[in-house]
Structure 1
Amino acid sequence: MKGTQRPGGHRGRGAGRVLGLLPAMVAAIGLTSTAALAVPNHGATSTGPKPRALSPASAVAAMQPSWNLGNTLDAIPDETSWGNPPVTKALFDTIRAQGFHSVRIPVTWTGHQSPTAPYAIDATFMNRVKQVVDWALSDGLYVVVNVHHDSWQWISTMPTDHDNVLARFDAIWKQVAAEFRDSPQTLLFESINEPQFDDAGDAQGIRYLDELDTAFHGIVRGSGGNNATRLLMLPTLHCNAGQTYMDALVGGMKSLDDPNLVATVHYYGWYPFSVNVAGGTRFDATAQKDMSDTFTGIRDTLVTQGVPVYLGEYGLLQYPDHTHPSRVERGEALKYFEQLGHEARTAGVTTALWDPFSFLNRDTLRWRDPGLIAQIKSSWTTRSGTASSDRVFVPASSAITAKTLTLNPNGTSFKGLWQGGTRLAAGRDYTVSGNELTLTAAALTRLAGDRAYGTNATVEARFSRGLPWKIYVTTYETPVLSNATGTTGGLSIPARFRGDLLATMEATYADGSNAGQTGWTPYQEFNAAFSPDYPGNALLLTPDFLGALHDGAPATLTFHFWSGATVTYHVTRSGSSVTGTAS
């Protein structure tokens, strides 16, 4: 991803079960090369891997699942600059114990390299990279090392500074190749992360990338030692899995005529859903199709043509983020990760979860959301049933009525509902008609208890395999907003959420045109334009949103909540002053 601090995070699971998928994954990849690689014994101790020979396709399959050491050695300017503590050996011990078989270690060299010839890399930094890589290798993990945020810091200027960029890029790989020439072949090199070139169209960008990859390939192969046959990863332009980019990569690989090459792309989902903009609140049919089409394209263009594929980063662009209110509703995120694991397994693609710090707490070495990681882990080996929502909302004061959810069995069979260890009674507590699950009024009344605002009970829909789907019985009343005054530096609207949760905000002017900084849609971006402050009983409008409002033109805001409730609010900017009025 691009070179600013990314919130978010990722990862988790089981060694033996994943290795059991190897024959199927290798068959799906279909590579016939007999080139052998040293592959770690996943039962190895910290004394180091015990190699055995695998083909490139088998080696990439054995790397599943993978995890990214994000926002660390790629952080700018230094390892701890983006909020993570220094890497320790214990971190890789944890990752290995959690069932990961490989790690990607992004490295940004820019601030640790002379910007002019001979472009020397600082010895202290190189030694630190080597130390971190060796810790991971000693745990029996495959390791990927790359050139990361350099892609946008200076490599992107190649159209206007061609010779200097190429010379500096070459210098990095000459030094890295020399440092690691004798490292085991369980270390892989990735030429460049998310390559991009200023003011260059796709055709020109592809030519620049091909030039860099050709140089990278020649330098590494010519450096001798284990680099002569080391697996090398080549990206598509932007690491985008679009057809044009993958076709170009296939052509570039054919020209290099080297069996020890791996393709790498990234996937962060359908953009409106990934960041919650343009009304993309749900993992709906459009988001699902984007995912399935992407993996079908990867399979048909690369995997079935004998090219091993490493999904070097995946996740959602703005989820999870423990430092801000969640943009993506948790149940929708669970559905996303559940399907992604299935699509990757079906396509024969090895997946590397992007984790800048939001999945694994690097201070405690514990997962921030164990349930989310459990879903990701489960997706590595099987499917899980889900439903149209993970919440059933009931009113705080009016009569409770039956509520219906649509089950998504995903090839499993529905087995019933449980509350803890107690099985709910079919017919009395719930009914099922096809995939329509209805909780009865009587059951919801009992589960809601005293109907205090918020979640009053949790029930589980259990299926024949995979994880159960949790359903939170939540009591609410329509939220209430109050008048407010502020400046374009930010407006805090007093809010009583009353058990409800914010989904999105729609902003328009009286003539029907869109209001706010995201002018192509009335539905503004969560946390970028607006943000709920549940503990502070406030709803915040950001400086970016307020600064984009037309001076003197009242904007009508419609806040959409997960219960289905909507609340209308009016905001007027007058110079740097802002007034908010409840309807």
Structure 2
Amino acid sequence: MNLKKILAGAVAAGMLWCSCAVSAAALPQKQSPMRDITTAELVKDMGIGINLGNTYESCGDWIAQWGDGTPESYETAWGSPVITQQMIQGYADAGFDTLRVPVAWTNLMGDNYTISDSYLSAVQEVVDWARDCGLYVILNLHYDGGWLANFPTDKENCMEKYKRIWTQVSDAFADYDDYLIFESQNEELGWESLWNRWGGTEGKAESYALVNEINQTFVDIIRSSGGNNPQRHLLISGYNTDVELTCDSLFQMPDDPAHRCAVSVHYYTPSGFAILEEDADWGKMRSTWGTDADFEELNRNMDLLKTTYVDKGIPVIIGEYGCPKKNKEEESVRKFLSSVCGAAYERDMCPVLWDITDLHYDRNNCKMYDDTLMQQLLAVKGDSDKPLLGDCNGDGSVSAADLVLLQKYLLGVESLSKEAAALADCNGDGTVNGLDLAVLRQTLAQV
């Protein structure tokens, strides 16, 4: 049989399976009452998460000029396909517990900072899909074109815009249960125009004070709105979501009458590995990670968060952690991601993987590209007994050795145990044949 035909059939079968995988299990409804649990208990229950990145936070004037004025034109502007219910279900099927949804709320915004009904509905649909399959959802105000950078020079207008956004969002989601968490901002709270961390202390107190004021405004807005919002668990953006800067004593958690706030930081350290794909004028790219010094740095940062916040009863969510795959050693990528995830989780923090289209999660086939990585992430929370499809030889990873074994089995040269045959059924159709070989080839080609 022609291999291209086999592969096409395998992909179609995978997409068909994905479209039929929506769970019918009874789950908490979005209008359910809030549970009597602390934010620390909630964060622990949030397990491990993933971001729906480069989707609803896409922004830029060129999108309005190029697009057709619909939410989909923004949704797809940075490379994502249109989001479907099956894609969201795939996150839950993979083993994630939490979905972070970054949003640029000024897209299609009307007069008086009025959020577009169609844009709000598109985001709300994704939140509903995530809730229907049992996922926690973190909903934020993201970079949003960078207007938050103007806070130091245009505070009145920026604060009015910020208030209008969160007033509308909190009203729209007021009746959702506590599986929905609002996050005050992304990484933009903190301004080099006021204070440069490498240039002394001038302006530092002023910059921190403005961060604290914005976060307090966020809490005040949510707590004064209706529905479940007076008791909603909230995520407070740290200073530029930087670990060290957020652990500075000048950063203050807002006063919250409900005492239901966690703090958010991001983890892209060391930047040479976790950010750069090639050398830059400010740093040298690293292709590997995993030295003793690397692990010491990771544990030092996670311990700092634990002693500053977790040990004092303030939960921590790593709202983003990640690294690119281009120009990186495959095993180093796995080691970095699983190690950051594990270091956070074992200290009672919720780690949320940063992901964009074609990085870690395949939005077309509704599954992770790298099953071995997913198994390592699941092992962090003791959930690694999930079958690793394609691991025909049972060594805990999917590699070329499994491909060779499956080829020999199909040629009648080797036999497979019942357990191995179940893992070799890569497309889930109940039989082991050439379609599974094609799916396995495709999987290895994408890793």
Normalising by structure 1, we get a TM-score of 0.54
Describe the shift of the 1:269–1:44 C-alpha distance in structure 2 as closer, same or farther (beyond 3 A).
farther
Partner residue, 1:169: 162
2:361 is the counterpart of 1:360: yes
- Using the TM superposition, give the Cα deviation of residue 377 of structure 1 relative to its aligned residue in structure 2, in angstroms: 2.4
Partner SS state of residue 75, structure 2: coil
Structure having greater relative contact order (Cα 8 Å, sep ≥ 6): 2
- Using the TM superposition, give the Cα deviation of residue 61 of structure 1 relative to its aligned residue in structure 2, in angstroms: 0.7
- Using the TM superposition, give the Cα deviation of residue 62 of structure 1 relative to its aligned residue in structure 2, in angstroms: 0.6
Partner residue, 1:314: 321
Q: How far apart in 2 are the matches of 1:345 and 1:53? A: 23
Q: Indicate conservation of the 8 Å contact 1:142/1:187, yes or no.
A: yes
- Using the TM superposition, give the Cα deviation of residue 64 of structure 1 relative to its aligned residue in structure 2, in angstroms: 0.9
2:174 is the counterpart of 1:181: yes
1:393-412 equivalences under 5 Å are none
Q: How far apart in 2 are the matches of 1:61 and 1:250? A: 24
1:3-22 equivalences under 5 Å are none
Aligned-pair identity (%): 28
Q: AA paired with 1:45? A: A
Partner residue, 1:95: 91
Q: Indicate conservation of the 8 Å contact 1:303/1:348, yes or no.
A: yes
Partner residue, 2:45: 62
**Which one of the candidate residues 120, 131, 137 is aligned to 1:137?**
131
Q: How far apart in 1 are the matches of 2:338 and 2:177? A: 34
Normalising by structure 2, we get a TM-score of 0.70
- Using the TM superposition, give the Cα deviation of residue 298 of structure 1 relative to its aligned residue in structure 2, in angstroms: 0.7
Partner residue, 1:264: 264
Q: How far apart in 1 are the matches of 2:378 and 2:226? A: 38
- Using the TM superposition, give the Cα deviation of residue 134 of structure 1 relative to its aligned residue in structure 2, in angstroms: 1.3
Partner SS state of residue 333, structure 1: helix
Partner residue, 2:413: none
Describe the shift of the 1:43–1:299 C-alpha distance in structure 2 as closer, same or farther (beyond 3 A).
farther
Deviations 1:276-323 (A, max 9, x none): 64363332233222211110111110100001111111111xx22xxx
Deviations 1:422-469 (A, max 9, x none): 9xxxxxxxxxxxxxxxxxxxxxxxxxxxxxxxxxxxxxxxxxxxxxxx
Q: How far apart in 1 are the matches of 2:367 and 2:179? A: 26
- Using the TM superposition, give the Cα deviation of residue 373 of structure 1 relative to its aligned residue in structure 2, in angstroms: 2.4
Q: How far apart in 1 are the matches of 2:250 and 2:47? A: 22
More helix by share: 2
Describe the shift of the 1:228–1:105 C-alpha distance in structure 2 as closer, same or farther (beyond 3 A).
same
Equivalent residue pairs, number = 335
Q: How far apart in 2 are the matches of 1:266 and 1:421? A: 35
Q: How far apart in 2 are the matches of 1:90 and 1:240? A: 34
Q: How far apart in 2 are the matches of 1:250 and 1:203? A: 9
1:88-487 equivalences under 5 Å are 88-114=84-110, 118-150=112-144, 153-195=146-188, 196-197=190-191, 199-201=193-195, 202-242=204-244, 244-248=245-249, 251-253=252-254, 255-256=255-256, 258-274=258-274, 275=276, 277=279, 278=284, 280-283=286-289, 284-316=291-323, 319-320=324-325, 326-357=326-357, 358-381=359-382
Partner SS state of residue 124, structure 2: helix
- Using the TM superposition, give the Cα deviation of residue 154 of structure 1 relative to its aligned residue in structure 2, in angstroms: 0.4
CA RMSD of aligned residues (A): 2.6
Q: How far apart in 1 are the matches of 2:79 and 2:131? A: 25
Describe the shift of the 1:290–1:257 C-alpha distance in structure 2 as closer, same or farther (beyond 3 A).
farther
1:499-518 equivalences under 5 Å are none
More strand by share: 1
- Using the TM superposition, give the Cα deviation of residue 368 of structure 1 relative to its aligned residue in structure 2, in angstroms: 1.9
Unaligned runs of 5+ in 1: 1-41, 321-325, 384-418, 423-583
Q: Indicate conservation of the 8 Å contact 2:88/2:126, yes or no.
A: no
Partner residue, 2:80: 84
Partner residue, 2:26: 45
Partner SS state of residue 312, structure 1: strand
Partner residue, 2:398: none
Deviations 1:230-265 (A, max 9, x none): 0111011111111x4224476333x44541111111
Unaligned runs of 5+ in 2: 1-22, 64-73, 196-203, 385-391, 396-447
Partner SS state of residue 99, structure 2: strand
Partner SS state of residue 112, structure 1: coil
